[in-house]
Structure 1
């Protein structure tokens, strides 16, 4: 069974216990997915707020469903406090419920969970890399724009020197000094831009 399918799968039954189990699993996976999506929305405060509110609502529903489940006869008790504690963690690891430990496909539930967590980790690392690359590209563009502005000013100062026509208050020595400072100012950004081009 595919890892992601396993994370969101469940066998619906007509019994109250089976229905509650499915409801608990569904809410748990939904919270897990929203926490994962919340990580991707770190630059959108309004969107993050909506997702956070939705997670809080689903947590309350999940706790209520667990309490209902624990009241059912022949139900495997679920530690509500432990669930609340795990839900408070930033990591979006999926829960393992007592009834899931009785696997029917020969694969340990812990093996499935470990594999699922690795899939989520790879997904997060991939997204983080995309964010870093985007930031690097933006930084490179900023450096290029800064260099272009300084070079434009250098060209203007060069014209002053060649024509001997200086703005009010400027002298030849002042223009040469300004040109020297501008050259130094472009040295650092040019090096950084070259490094960016190599790594992006």
Structure 2
């Protein structure tokens, strides 16, 4: 969550440096994304500019598909389709890089496909000035895409944290209810299921022990999750009216059968 804040600050710094509005930055993102979508299927292999555009478009397209793959978590058929298209685009990118590097006019070769995709924002050999309009648009695009990915990851993390806390509170509540019922039965020496008093007391002790283990986990989890949310300024995971780990559980289950 700290990284999300840093990326937001980086985007604000770019806005200030370029004296651009939110709308202008969003248009830059659209321009770069459109360049990836409009990659031509046919082009002149001896045209360095066409190859440059093709390489950039394929690179951006693969990066976008990787983000799409991350978003799709519960549809195997769609994930398979995205992976297949990524493999196809990687082959096209490999061929385009090879063709560009083999041109007589090429003075600086493009990195391999693996090295390009490993870089968050590669600097192309033909970008002599990183701060040109196209270079700045790419930088903004990369930061905005990174921010979107981080926000998605945070949302998934918070949801998983909430589900974990809900599971703990429901388990704790169920164990406390069961322990109280068992304590009442022991107090009245009423033992259903044909169990003896000693066996029933053993069951009650086991439930109490499990309840204590869950309560200990809840204390640690609550402290950890609260720190994550506070540091990230996110929504609350642990609600105020959620289960109190220290709430009373009846342990008075002494009976004559214990003697």
Give the distance between the partners of 1:8 and 1:17, measured in 2 at CA: 21
Aligned length: 193
Give 5+ residue unaligned stretches, structure 2.
1-23, 230-236, 238-259
- Detail structure 1 runs of 4+ shifted over 6 Å in the superposition: none
User: Superposition pairs for residues 45-194 of structure 1, below 5 Å?
Assistant: 46-70=77-101, 74=105, 78-79=109-110, 82-87=111-116, 89=118, 93-102=120-129, 106=132, 109=135, 117-167=142-192, 170-193=195-218
Contact 2:185 2:191 in 1 (8 A): yes
In structure 2, the CA distance between the partners of 1:102 and 1:161, relative to structure 1 (3 Å rule), is: closer
Shift of 1:137: 1.2
Give the distance between the partners of 2:107 and 2:29, measured in 1 at CA: 25
Question: TM-score, structure 2 length as denominator?
Answer: 0.57
Contact 2:93 2:113 in 1 (8 A): no
CA deviation map 1:7-43 (0-9, x unaligned): 4466x9x984433332222111001112233344466
Question: TM-score, structure 1 length as denominator?
Answer: 0.70
**More relative contact order in 1 or in 2 (CA 8 Å, sep 6+)?**
2
In structure 2, the CA distance between the partners of 1:119 and 1:84, relative to structure 1 (3 Å rule), is: same
Give the distance between the partners of 2:139 and 2:209, measured in 1 at CA: 54
CA deviation map 1:85-110 (0-9, x unaligned): 31463x6x24332223356x75694x
Give 5+ residue unaligned stretches, structure 1.
none
Contact 1:29 1:94 in 2 (8 A): no
In structure 2, the CA distance between the partners of 1:150 and 1:18, relative to structure 1 (3 Å rule), is: same
CA deviation map 1:120-146 (0-9, x unaligned): 444333222222211111111221232
Give the distance between the partners of 1:78 and 1:116, measured in 2 at CA: 24
Shift of 1:83: 2.5
Answer 1 or 2: which has greater helix percent. Answer: 1
Query: Which sits farther off after the overlay, 122-131 or 187-196?
Result: 187-196
Give the distance between the partners of 2:94 and 2:196, measured in 1 at CA: 78
Give the distance between the partners of 1:168 and 1:73, measured in 2 at CA: 89
